[in-house]
Amino acid sequence: MSKKPIIVFEGIEGSGKSHHISVVSKYLTKKKITHIKIREPGGNVSSEKIRRLILNNKSNFNKNTDLLLYLAARSENINTIESSYKKKVILIDRFTDSTIAYQHIGMGVDINLIKILNKFLLKNIKVDFTFLNLVNKQNLYSRLKKRKSLNRYDKFDMSFYNKVQKGFVKISKVNKKKYQLVNSNLDIKKNEQLILNTIDQLIK
């Protein structure tokens, strides 16, 4: 594996992935390891514009439009990723697995279409490792309730998130060596340590 890997943080809402990616970014900064941290949808000025459009509560796109908008946002990130690929550690908050889990498994968009579009955008870019954060229904519910404002994708019913989370787990089983499952119902500090131990292995 490259010493400058692409590391992705995946999981449903309230699973703690954004917290953990920030902890990892601070850790790398402390160790003076050059890295970039981006999120999807979003990550740069143009992509953040698309994010606001997709997640706006007043938006009412169909599932195919959503797919194309998520991929449009990804398209705007590819240059950013390419310019740091194998030169810096790249941390990404959600990436291609989210598209399969939400748009295909959750919403039923054609998987082949998603694969073709991702391949077209990513070309030779490959994710090296993924932390998949898992949360139970109770914690998901209470974490969403605590959020100050909910966007369009924070408002699905619990069965949808359950389906998407099971989808993520299924995806991870295809290449188990490239995934670490993080049980975010457990102690957050212990999880941070588990993740940082793996990060040490990934960048050594």
* Angle in degrees, CA 79, 85, 91, rounded to 5: 90
| Beta pairing partners, 107 | none
Does position 16 interact with ligand TMP (CB under 6 A)? The reply is: no
Interface residue with ligand TMP, options 7, 21, 35, 40 (CB under 6 A): 40
DSSP alpha helices (H): ranges in the chain? 17-30, 45-55, 63-84, 96-98, 111-122, 137-146, 158-174, 188-203
Residues 6+ apart with CB under 8 A from 100: 111, 114, 167, 171
Does position 20 interact with ligand TMP (CB under 6 A)? The reply is: no
Binding window for ligand TMP (CB under 6 A); candidates: 24-32, 35-43, 82-90, 169-177: 35-43
DSSP for 63-92? HHHHHHHHHHHHHHHHHHHHHHTTTSEEEE
With respect to ligand TMP, which residue has the nearer C-beta, 141 or 153?
153
Does position 98 interact with ligand TMP (CB under 6 A)? The reply is: yes
Main-chain phi, psi angles of 38, to 5 degrees: -130, 165
Does position 94 interact with ligand TMP (CB under 6 A)? The reply is: yes
Interface residue with ligand TMP, options 4, 8, 20, 102 (CB under 6 A): 102
Does position 165 interact with ligand TMP (CB under 6 A)? The reply is: no
Closest separation between CB of residue 163 and ligand TMP, Å?
13
Does position 130 interact with ligand TMP (CB under 6 A)? The reply is: no
Interface residue with ligand TMP, options 5, 16, 69, 70 (CB under 6 A): 70
Give the binding site for ligand TMP (CB under 6 A). 13, 39-41, 70, 94, 98-99, 102-103, 153
